[in-house]
Amino acid sequence: MTSPTEIEGAEASSVLDKESEPQGDAQEPKKLAGRSPGQLMWQRFKRDRTGVVSAYVVIFFFVVAALAPLIAKVYGKDPYTLYAQEPDFPFLLDDFAMPTGSFGGMSGEFWFGVEPKLGRDVFTMLLYGMRTSLYMAVVVTTLCVLTGVLIGMVSGFFGGRVDYWLGRVTDFFLAFPQQLFFIAFMPVVTAMFVSPQDETPTYLRAVAITLVMWFLGWMGLARLVRSSVLSLADREFVEAAKVSGASPWRIVRKEILPNIVTPILVQATYILPSTILSIAFLSYIGVGFVEPTPDWGRMFAIGSEVYEQDPMFMFFPGVALVVFVLAFNLLGDSVRDAFDPKTGR
């Protein structure tokens, strides 16, 4: 005989079976897929209109700098020809060697006008000057980031005497004033590799600028990375990796480095525009790039001599430099906000 309890259990089981059976056109629930930290960062970044616009501006500058020779070829001018001395353009400069016409000689032939005194095309000078400054800054920034991350990581991870001596080396380099040291360093380079009767080649000046800015530009990032590594060295996941027998290289690569990508990336976005300003300053005072190499700093140096007679010559490089530096700084802020889950943007 079946007990009442067994009957009630059978009825309840049949009811549950009926409810669990698919009902006609009922759809299966969608599976929720998790998103990686990179995907979350990208979603946050895309919602930041300021960051997206800044990224487009920065990409535009780099694309224009990369395509400068092609643009100049299509445009039909170059930054080295003295067009005021060409028979095809006999009236580019007046008797005072200033551009004829309004707005610095702007016309259909010369979109941004011509350079005072020499008559070179300002548009192509700006393109090639942008190319020189941007790609020099990329090289310097890459070297500074790699060096700063390596020294900061080693100092913070191993600690002890290693941390002490690397800290003293960092302090030693911080004692050097970068720009003054470069002014004193250039004559040494010239005397070592170039005869006093010869002009210093452009590539040698580029190497000198890169080396000095590299040697004197990594310390801030190294200290930032060191402090970040020290804050992570005693965390549970790092201790667990050590107990499990993981090698130091694996701990650094798998546990520590992914957790300090944000400050490294943000700091790099600040180093690059600062490097561009430093390169422009060195060329402005005459110890960086010199004639006839197109450079933002050289254009400012020329413009400062003729700004009363031809203010437009400094207008275009000034606007380009301000727009790029501002866009890159805003991009750095947006990247930081996208990586930081605590921000509300």
pLDDT at 343: 52
What integer pLDDT is reported at residue 38 of this predicted model? 64
Site of tokens 């190499």? 293
pTM, full prediction: 0.79
Give pLDDT, residue 16.
Answer: 41
Per-residue pLDDT, 243: 79
Per-residue pLDDT tens digits for 126-173 = 999 888 888 889 999 999 999 999 998 888 888 888 888 998 888 888
| Range 92-126 burial, b when 16+ CB lie within 10 A, else e | bbeeeebbeeeebbbbeebebbbbbbbbbbbbbbb
pLDDT digits (tens, 9 = 90+) for 94-111: 777 777 877 777 888 888
- From residue 242, give the alpha-carbon distance in Å to each of 210, 229, 236: 39, 15, 10
10 Å CB burial of residue 134 (0-12, 13-18, 19+) is buried
What pLDDT does residue 199 have?
A: 74
Task: Give CA–CA dist 332/60, Å, rounded.
Answer: 16
Does 248 sit behind a cis peptide bond, omega within 30 degrees of 0 on the bond before it? no
The two structure tokens encoding residue 339: 């990586």
Print pLDDT tens along the chain (345 aa). Answer: 444 444 444 444 444 444 444 444 445 555 445 566 667 777 777 787 888 898 899 999 999 989 999 999 998 888 888 877 777 777 777 777 777 877 777 888 888 888 888 888 888 989 998 888 888 899 999 999 999 999 988 888 888 888 889 988 888 888 877 777 777 776 777 677 777 677 777 788 888 888 888 888 888 889 888 888 888 877 877 778 777 777 778 888 777 888 888 888 888 888 888 888 888 888 888 787 888 888 888 888 888 888 777 888 888 888 898 999 899 888 888 887 777 656 554
Instruction: Count CA within 13 A, CB hemisphere, residue 140.
Output: 29
CA distance 149 to 154: 8
> What tokens were used for 92?
């580019």
How many other CB atoms are found less than 10 A from the CB of residue 36?
A: 8
